[in-house]
Amino acid sequence: MRLRLLLLLLIGLAVAIVVVRYWRTDMLYQAKLARQVAADAAAPEGAVVFLGNSIIEGLDTSAVAPDTLNLGIGGDTSRGLLGRLDRYSSLASARAIVLEIGINDLVHGDGGEVIANYRRILAQLPKQPRIYLLGLLPIDEKAFVAAHGNLATNAEIARIDVAARELCQRRGNCVLLQPFGAGGLPPEYHTGDGLHLNAAGYAALATAIKAALATPVGAEAAQPATPRP
């Protein structure tokens, strides 16, 4: 009887911990979204809007172009981004939109939803702004597995990016960027977990986006990999 009671208490404690963690995560997410909506309302016309997860959130967009709006939220998924697009009125008057999302879908085991959500995201974005699609950036698989487990591979990322590129081409006014090429993320560009960019990685990303924004419409192709330092 005591053992059964102890097991029930342990199960209840585990459930409570999960609920509290989810609640705290959601509260942080909603707080970030509220701050973004306020910044969005004050954004100038012709801004360059950045959409994505922690990769975008950690990017100093002011180093890429003037009048930028960073709407990245760490940990977000393609479904999460899709759900918050209608909160951003600045998208309709943006000069350009930089889009990066999807790696957290793979981490959470929802990789099958990414392409369908990309289709919905691209359909929901206004037609006038030029879209620069980063898609899913490659990972350093060895470091990623050590830090996060075997939750994503570059082969899977490449498969999704190929499908995303097709959606981008069908939409028109959309350019695919590959700042790190189609292979793995070089070790000198990440923090050690095979995924999140360090200062050098962000400098390479910013350089690639800045070059794409400066390229005349119609003259661009998929951007080549940034040379290693």
Burial class (CB in 10 A: 0-12, 13-18, 19+), 222: middle
Burial class (CB in 10 A: 0-12, 13-18, 19+), 1: exposed
The domain tally of the chain equals 2
Q: Are residues 65 and 161 in the same domain?
A: yes
Inside any domain, residue 220: no
Residue 6 backbone dihedrals phi, psi, to 5 degrees: -65, -40
Q: What is the pLDDT along the chain (229 residues), one digit of tens a residue?
A: 666 665 555 565 444 443 334 444 578 899 999 999 999 999 999 999 999 999 999 999 999 999 999 999 999 999 999 999 999 999 999 999 999 999 999 999 888 899 999 999 999 999 999 999 999 999 999 999 999 999 999 999 999 999 999 999 999 899 999 999 878 999 999 999 999 999 999 999 999 999 999 987 665 554 444 544 4
Q: Are residues 84 and 12 in the same domain?
A: no
Inside any domain, residue 219: no
Q: Are residues 54 and 129 in the same domain?
A: yes
Residues 6+ apart with CB under 8 A from 65: 48, 209, 210, 213
Q: Are residues 28 and 95 in the same domain?
A: no
User: How much of the chain is helix, strand and coil, in % rounded to 5?
Assistant: 55, 10, 35
Q: Are residues 12 and 72 in the same domain?
A: no
Q: Are residues 36 and 132 in the same domain?
A: no
> What's the pTM?
0.85
Q: What are the structure tokens assigned to 193, written together?
A: 């977990």
Supply the CATH number for residue 123's domain. 3.40.50.1110
Residue 74 one-letter amino acid: G
Inside any domain, residue 221: no
Q: Residue 132 sits in which domain range?
A: 44-214
